[in-house]
Amino acid sequence: MKTNSEINIESRDQSYLVKKKLADFKVGVDNVIFSVDTKHNRLLVLLLKRKDEPFIAQWSLPGTLVRQGEPLKEAAHRILAEKIAVNNLYLEQLYTFGEPGRDPREAPESFGVRYLSVSYFALVRYEESALIARPTNNIAWHPVKKVPNLAFDHNQILNYGYHRLKNKLEYSPIAFEVLPDEFTLNEVYQLYCTVLGENFSDYSNFRSKLLKLGFLSDTGEKVCRGAGRPASLYRFDAEAFEPLKDKPLVFI
């Protein structure tokens, strides 16, 4: 309810009423970090058990608030490096979530600081990544197919990240940023199967399509994986891929 004196004050300065105040923000970065467990054919996402309120003891995406002078992408790299050690990774910005009230620390009508989340999605190699362990078991890879209820709007962020991952895999060579320098075609195939599902393509058709694109070079070396004929080791040829950059490729 407005008192008369308040109305008088307002009438002196109309623009004060009409022009709303600007919001002050803290900006967080939340990472959807995927990895492919080729042994068990599972797509995994890295989750952290929260140690603080709000949502204490609930699983969440690894996130951090952006520091003074820190670029957004660097913040994403920092939180990733704090949790796992990897050599190769793919990282790109996903989406920005900024609805008022997405963080309970913003009191509904307090008009205090807002929490905005710039999300990033990353793909790392499971076999190569070492979790930076903590005393208690508060960090773990979860199969994407059965993630629990997450803190904040993190389930929404994760779903969007999963969607983007599937698209990226079909149209960009991000798989090769995550595979070791030398790999067999079957390793590529397994990675695609795990992310996109079993029925996305037949192996022999996948092979010929991929080779016809012309940016995989056969090293001539062979490697034995248990029983069966030894497989050729291939290498991603960045130079040969260069002209294909920016073109709409389909890797299926």
Partner DNA sequence: ACAAAAGTGTTTTTTATACACCCATGC
Partner DNA sequence: GCATGGGTGTATAAAAAACACTTTTGT
Is residue 20 close enough to count as binding a second copy by CB under 8 A?
yes
Least distance in angstroms from the C-beta of 91 to a second copy: 14
Phi, psi of 123 (to 5 degrees): -125, 125
Distances in Å between the alpha carbon of 2 and those of 9, 13, 107?
A: 11, 16, 22
Q: CA 252 to CA 245: how far, in whole Å?
A: 17
Q: CA 16 to CA 9: how far, in whole Å?
A: 10
Sole binder of a second copy in the list 14, 39, 69, 247 (CB under 8 A):
69
Whose Cβ is closer to DNA: residue 141's or residue 206's? 206
Q: CA 62 to CA 47: how far, in whole Å?
A: 6
Q: CA 115 to CA 143: how far, in whole Å?
A: 28
Is residue 22 close enough to count as binding a second copy by CB under 8 A?
yes
Nearest to 53 by CA among 156, 153, 155, 152: 152
Residue span 164-203 as binding mask against a second copy, x where in contact by CB under 8 A, dash where not: ----------------------------------------
Choosing among DNA, a second copy, none, which partner's interface includes residue 27 (Cβ < 5 to 8 Å by kind)? a second copy
Whose Cβ is closer to a second copy: residue 72's or residue 249's? 72
Is residue 51 close enough to count as binding DNA by CB under 7 A?
no
Choosing among DNA, a second copy, none, which partner's interface includes residue 208 (Cβ < 5 to 8 Å by kind)? DNA
Is residue 16 close enough to count as binding a second copy by CB under 8 A?
no
> Using CB under 8 A, which residues numbered 95 to 154 contact a second copy?
95-96, 98-100, 111, 114, 116, 118
Choosing among a second copy, DNA, none, which partner's interface includes residue 241 (Cβ < 5 to 8 Å by kind)? none
My answer on whether omega of the bond before 54 falls inside 30° of 0, hence cis, is yes
Q: CA 219 to CA 234: how far, in whole Å?
A: 6
Residues lying near DNA in the complex (CB under 7 A) = 184-186, 201-205, 207-209, 222, 224-232, 250, 252
Residues lying near a second copy in the complex (CB under 8 A) = 20-27, 65-72, 93, 95-96, 98-100, 111, 114, 116, 118
